[in-house]
Amino acid sequence: MIVFLLLPFGSLVNSASGIPAALVDPRTENAIITSFYCALLATIFAFVLGVPLAYMFTRYEFRGKKLIDSLIDLPIIIPHNAAGLALIAILGSGSLIGGFFGHLGVSFVNTIFGIVVAMAFVSAPFMIRSAQEAFTSIDPKMEYVARSLGASRVGVFTEVILPTGRRGILTGCLMTWARAVSEFGAVLYLAYYPMTAPVYVDYVYTGEGLQAALPITGLLLVLAVVALIAFRLVTYRPAKLSR
């Protein structure tokens, strides 16, 4: 299994000599910057809306809760090209929602907005589930004590819940960003331009062939390893020594 998982990194051997050239190619740079920037915006979007939703799921009971909780994982299950087509149908200029935003000067087809929406759609479940796990591990008695001392509900959430669950929430942010930056299918259909890194690799491969796409692929693999190491360093928790 380890060999199987590491097998794609064998492409680095064939592409290593071309990675420096890919790194200074303006087209590659723009695609990577677009991916990282839009993934950051998608993560912020998922954080602002997803973390309160996760808290609501762990602390409140309401009608339809189980159904909504099941639907949260839907973006992970459905094919992402299908997700892209569904987003076009909902957010395209001819749709009700797309037309409304069009009057406000916001278009989702082939724009940064479309990339962010597509990324947020497929990656938000990672934020919500990580935050849910973090909030579930927090003893509700902490909230009761804070309320008894005069803290408001908002104050309890921002000063007690968020700091206590920060590790799980941070993990959710990193997983959401990583999933967003690697998204291809939904972005390809909703916002082909400006090109993100995965879309640009497909463009080069389709137009110029495997040998032209390999150096860019190798560069993305290197960046993925760097991101993975950073993720491990941020979320690392030393093991407690047993006596």
Q: How many CA atoms lie within 13 A of 19 on its CB side?
A: 14
pLDDT number for residue 73: 87
Distance from C-alpha of 151 to C-alpha of 143, rounded to nearest angstrom: 9
Q: 45 is in which domain, residue-wise?
A: 17-59+77-235
The number of angstroms, rounded, from the C-alpha of 122 to the middle of its chain's C-alpha atoms is 7
Confidence of residue 113 (pLDDT cuts 50, 70, 90): very high
Q: Does residue 168 come out as left (phi exceeding 0), alpha (psi in the -120 to 50 range) or beta?
A: alpha
Distance from C-alpha of 115 to C-alpha of 123, rounded to nearest angstrom: 12
Mean pLDDT of the chain: 86
- Are the beta carbons of 120 and 114 closer than 8 angstroms? no
DSSP character string of 26-59: HHHHHHHHHHHHHHHHHHHHHHHHHHHHHHHHHH
The answer to the question of residue 67 being in a domain is no
The answer to the question of residue 7 being in a domain is no
The answer to the question of residue 41 being in a domain is yes
Distance from C-alpha of 45 to C-alpha of 105, rounded to nearest angstrom: 20
pLDDT number for residue 199: 93
pLDDT single digits (tens) 6-41: 787 776 666 677 778 877 889 989 999 999 999 999
The answer to the question of residue 11 being in a domain is no
The answer to the question of residue 86 being in a domain is yes
What stretches of the chain adopt beta strand conformation (E)? none
Is the peptide bond prior to 194 cis by the omega test (within 30 degrees of 0)? yes
Confidence of residue 212 (pLDDT cuts 50, 70, 90): confident
Q: What total number of domains does the chain contain?
A: 1
The answer to the question of residue 107 being in a domain is yes
What percent of the chain is modeled with pLDDT above 70? 93
pLDDT at 60 over 90: no
Confidence of residue 124 (pLDDT cuts 50, 70, 90): very high
Rounded to two decimals, what is the model's pTM?
0.86
The number of angstroms, rounded, from the C-alpha of 73 to the middle of its chain's C-alpha atoms is 14
The answer to the question of residue 138 being in a domain is yes
The number of angstroms, rounded, from the C-alpha of 216 to the middle of its chain's C-alpha atoms is 21
Indicate which CATH number applies to the domain containing 151. 1.10.3720.10
The answer to the question of residue 10 being in a domain is no
